[in-house]
Structures are given as structure tokens and as C-alpha cells.
Amino acid sequence: MSAVILAIESSCDETSAAVISNGKVLNNIIATQAIHQKYGGVVPELASREHQRNIVAVVHEALKKSGLKKHDLDAIAFTRGPGLMGSLLVGVSFAKGLAIGLRKPLIEVNHMLSHFIEDPKPAFPFLCLTVSGGHTQIILVRDYLEMEVIGETQDDAVGEAFDKAAKIMGLPYPGGPLVDSYAQKGNPLAYKFSDTDMPGLDFSFSGIKTQFLYFIRDEKKKDENFVENNLNDICASIQHKLVQMLLKRLEQASLKTGIKEIAIAGGVSANSGLRNSLQALALKNAWNVYIPKLEYCTDNAAMIAMAAHYKYVKKEFVELDVAPLARMPI
């Protein structure tokens, strides 16, 4: 049975399309929206407009690079949620239009389920730490379409904490990657921060954000060039703390469940501190860890295409009245 699927991702500020043929990703085109940089965060209204502007070219490019024609496609897949409603609507509507025009079935994908579908794959059951600008979760994955959130943030996502810390230091959005690059030249133990203790396997990042705000404010009173003069050490220290908070819970989750197959996913899984510390923990705890390639850390349609492939095999299609969901449980 041939399974050629075009997948579209538009949940936040990346417009992406990918073609997958019999489980093999042929390409993964991503248009990242630069417009949000000057606002210090994603502006939903602008994101929808950028998706409208980009989507035709992105889909066209994915098809062209695959060497296939529209009529070679067997199904059209799209991100149904979670995400920004206006952004999701662009991808969902475009996918529906294509499906109608080509008379092909539609496949919906939950963005959060797809983040960790990658090769090589961990053995089931595994734990996945999903860390992005909108999510911080530990997911117990029993099978591709069967999973349970066993810990999650009760307030902000860790990506937001990275971005907020960067903003407090006057760095542009998205600050996570910048904090990471300065951190690589700094001392992670230069400044100490305390973490907020949450019950069970849950996280909280709002306290550390405030703590960091006051820390910078107080230090700047003593030395107005504090940030400029100590940027590498400050970045290394805050990153160290955030990574520690994540890995502490992940270690507890592994102990509690007895699972030693561990994956990470989402934008923050690109963080070098997290990647290195996870490798160290893997040695200490005899874990098998699965760290995504950098191109799969940001939102992309290849991951939607891979999830769609499994659904295609099971003939899990949706009708044209399917609507996007800003919140979509796992």
C-alpha cells in the first residue's frame, strides 16, 4: 500500500510543510516568522497573517523538493492543536482545501503527540520530557497513540522562563537560544537561584522568573553594567538552574515508574546544557536517552508527517467538519 502524505504545521510561529513516503521523510520546509522579534514575543494576530502569506510557497516547495505531483499524494495531514487559534485555522483550512481539491483523506495530528516521534525510536514504554515555549510535561508513552501526562507545569513553561530571563537582560526574542550560546562561555555556578518545590512530578517556573527579575534589578543598583559585564556567567547560572529543575523531576519520574528509556522533545530540547546534562544522567542511571536532531527541536511538519503515517496505516481519517483546537489533551 502506498502511503504518501503531505503534512502541514501552523500551530505557532512556524509555517511548515513536509512530504513523507512510506514512513520516510522526503523533506521538511520551515518558514520561521521573524516579525515577532521586535515585539519580544509571538503576536497571535501577526502570526496568522504570516501563515497566510507563507503557506502556499511552503507547501509548493515541499512538493517540488519531493519530486512528486499533488496527485501522487494519498492523504493530507495537519496539526489540529494545541496552538494559537488563528494560526491553526490557516493550516487546517488549507489542508481541507487541498483534500477537497484532490479528493484525498484528511488526517489530524495532535502537535504534542508528534514532538517525539523520531528515528531512532525509544522502546515502549518510555518517558518523554516535552519542553517548549508553551509546554513543560513529562509524558509516559505506552504506544504511539497511547500516553499519559504524569507531570506538568502549574504555571509557565520552561521556554517562557528562558525567554523572560533573556528579556530581563535586554536580549531579543526568542531569548532561549541566546541564553544558551552565552551560557556556553560562562560559569554555571557563578550565581545561585533557589527552586520552587511542587508536589509530585509537577513543575513551577513563575517563582524563578520573579527571583531572576529581582536579582538583576538589585545587582544593577550596585553596578549599572552588571549584565553586560557578566552576561556569560548570568546566562550559564540561570540555564543551569532551569535545566536542574527539569532533570530533577525527570529523574524522579524514572525512579517512580522504573522506566529507563528517556526522550526529550520541543524547542528547549535544543538547549546544549539540557542535552549535556541528560547525557551525564544517562551514564549515572543507565538510561537509554533519545535526543532529537536540532532541526526537529523547533516546530516542524516532518514530525506531523511521521505521526500521520501511523494514523494512515490505521486508516484514522477525519471528516471535513473537523475544527482546530487551541487546547488539545493528549
CB of 161 to ligand KG4, least distance (A): 8
Contacts of residue 210, defined as CB under 8 A and 6 or more positions apart, other chains included, come to none
Largest separation between any pair of C-alpha atoms in the chain: 69
Neighbouring CB atoms inside 10 A of 315's CB total 9
Stretch that binds ligand KG4, among 99-107, 118-126, 193-201, 266-274 (CB under 6 A): 266-274
How far are the Cα atoms of 121, 174, 250, 264, 279 from residue 276, in angstroms, in the given order? 20, 21, 15, 12, 5
The residue within the footprint of ligand KG4, chosen from 5, 6, 12, 259 (CB under 6 A), is 12
Segment 289-308, which members bind Zn ion (CB under 5 A)? Answer: 299
Choose between 110 and 204: whose C-beta lies nearer to Zn ion: 110
Stretch that binds ligand KG4, among 63-71, 98-106, 169-177, 215-223 (CB under 6 A): 169-177
Choose between 73 and 179: whose C-beta lies nearer to ligand KG4: 179
Choose between 66 and 130: whose C-beta lies nearer to ligand KG4: 130
* Per CB under 6 A, 270 contacts ligand KG4: yes
Neighbouring CB atoms inside 10 A of 211's CB total 16
Give, in degrees to the nearest 5, the angle at Cα 327 between 325 and 330.
105
Map residues 79-118 to x or -, x wherever contact with ligand KG4 holds by CB under 6 A: ----------------------------------------
The residue within the footprint of ligand KG4, chosen from 81, 105, 176, 188 (CB under 6 A), is 176
* Per CB under 6 A, 271 contacts ligand KG4: yes
Stretch that binds ligand KG4, among 52-60, 174-182, 188-196, 277-285 (CB under 6 A): 174-182
Segment 124-143, which members bind ligand KG4 (CB under 6 A)? Answer: 132-134
* Per CB under 6 A, 180 contacts ligand KG4: yes
Q: Which three cell numbers stand for residue 226?
A: 552588571
Burial class (CB in 10 A: 0-12, 13-18, 19+), 6: buried
Neighbouring CB atoms inside 10 A of 257's CB total 15
The residue within the footprint of ligand KG4, chosen from 238, 277, 299, 303 (CB under 6 A), is 299
Query: CA 245, CA 238: separation in Å to the nearest integer?
Result: 11
How far are the Cα atoms of 126, 204, 237 from residue 234, in angstroms, in the given order? 34, 21, 5
* Per CB under 5 A, 14 contacts Zn ion: no
Segment 118-147, which members bind Zn ion (CB under 5 A)? Answer: 132
Sheet strand arrangement including 126-131: 146-152, 136-143, 126-131, 261-265, 288-290
Stretch that binds ligand KG4, among 23-31, 265-273, 278-286, 309-317 (CB under 6 A): 265-273
- 3-state secondary structure (DSSP) of residue 123: coil
DSSP letter string, 309-322: HHHHHTT--B-TT-
Contacting residues toward Zn ion, per CB under 5 A:
132, 299
Contacting residues toward ligand KG4, per CB under 6 A:
12, 132-134, 159, 162-163, 174-177, 180, 266-268, 270-271, 298-299
